[in-house]
Amino acid sequence: MTNPASFAAACPLCGEAGFSRLYRFDPAQWIPGQVVRCGACGAVYKKPSAAARPLWDYYRDVRYRDLHYWSFELGALRALRQIRDEMVAVVGPSGARSLLEVGCGTGQFLQLAQERGFNVTGVELNEGLAEQARQHTGDSPIVCGDFLTQDFGRRFDVIVMLDLIEHLPDPLAALRRSHELLQPGGFLVVYTPNHAGITTRVADLAYRISGGAIAGPVNEIFDCLHVVFFDVDSLRSALERSGFRMVKLCQSPYDPARNDQATGASAVAVRVLEALGSVCFGQFRMLMFGQKPSAEAGLTETGRAAGPDAA
């Protein structure tokens, strides 16, 4: 993934400085500070306190390395296969298409993409993870470096970001770099939490009604290493600001079994909420596909793709 060296000083999506506070975590499990809403565009993001360490230090923390959120275990592989199959449905049969995964970790998704015929490349900051990805993908090109500055020497047909963009203090920079690296007509695949989904709404309602006494659900969702909290509208806006046209959106439930973040009654409650989310407000996970126009002339002066967006 791109190097998360510093936090955003202002709204990472529109650059405005005004905000209203939603939650405060100080002390915090991860990053002490505030979760705020931009007064101009409504984006939700994190403003750290003076006690916060540089962002990249948190990724060296043993607690983070032990999370194993994307793994080769059954629950994670099932989710990754669903993402891959949705990707194939959107971009079409691979036909030896080239695919770059940003923040490829140990190469789980790259391996699954290879099964469908994609020629895969990965970029990963952690050399140990990059070496594991090379082993899992048959020595495919796996670059250890910063996505924003790395010279890949080529363009790609598909670029994938799975549970990545919410960790980046400058997500627009990563999206614009993706636009540069894609072939005309190429696709961007972004998988990230939907913070307008029913799970987040219920957590916020419990927090507000209780005057902050019922803070566990909010803590679980926001006291983490995410620094920008997207919903469908803000993610779509970010893609459009970066020159993409959204071509498809899929939503899926939050699955607490994937990394044992909820067990017993709490896991049952989450699953009930997510079932309701399919009919109101939406679910906690969104998979969004953006496409780079086939001709640069297809962009308006604002960088937004001309023509109607596909739902």
> Is 50 domain-assigned?
no
Confidence (pLDDT) at 142: 96
pLDDT at 8 over 70: yes
> Looking at the 3D structure of the chain, how many domains does it have?
1
Pairing relation of β-strands 182-193 and 285-291? antiparallel
> Is 155 domain-assigned?
yes
DSSP assigned state of 169: S
Confidence of residue 303 (pLDDT cuts 50, 70, 90): very low
> Is 61 domain-assigned?
no
pLDDT tens by residue, 275-294 = 666 666 777 889 999 999 99
> Is 28 domain-assigned?
no
Among 200, 156, 198, 206, which Cα is nearest to 181's?
156
Confidence (pLDDT) at 69: 64
Confidence (pLDDT) at 310: 38
Confidence (pLDDT) at 66: 66
Residues 261-273, mean pLDDT to the nearest whole number? 58
> Is 2 domain-assigned?
no
Confidence (pLDDT) at 300: 38
Residues 6+ apart with CB under 8 A from 63: none
Cα gap 77→272, rounded to integer Å = 23
pLDDT at 266 over 90: no
Confidence (pLDDT) at 283: 79
Record the pTM.
0.87
Cα gap 251→236, rounded to integer Å = 14
Confidence of residue 309 (pLDDT cuts 50, 70, 90): very low
> Is 62 domain-assigned?
no
Mean pLDDT score of the chain: 85
Confidence (pLDDT) at 163: 94
User: What CATH number has the domain bearing residue 176?
Assistant: 3.40.50.150
pLDDT at 41 over 80: yes
> Is 112 domain-assigned?
yes
Residues 6+ apart with CB under 8 A from 217: 199, 202, 203, 206, 207
Per-residue burial over 190-224, b = 16 or more CB atoms within 10 Å of its CB, e = otherwise: bbbbbbbbbbbbbbbebbeeeeeeebebbebbbbb
Among 113, 124, 21, 87, which Cα is nearest to 287's?
87
Confidence (pLDDT) at 220: 87
Query: For residues 15 and 271, which has the higher predicted lDDT (pLDDT)?
Result: 15
Percent of the chain with pLDDT over 90: 64
> Is 175 domain-assigned?
yes
Domain with 162 in it: 70-294
Residues 175-186, mean pLDDT to the nearest whole number? 97
Cα gap 277→197, rounded to integer Å = 7
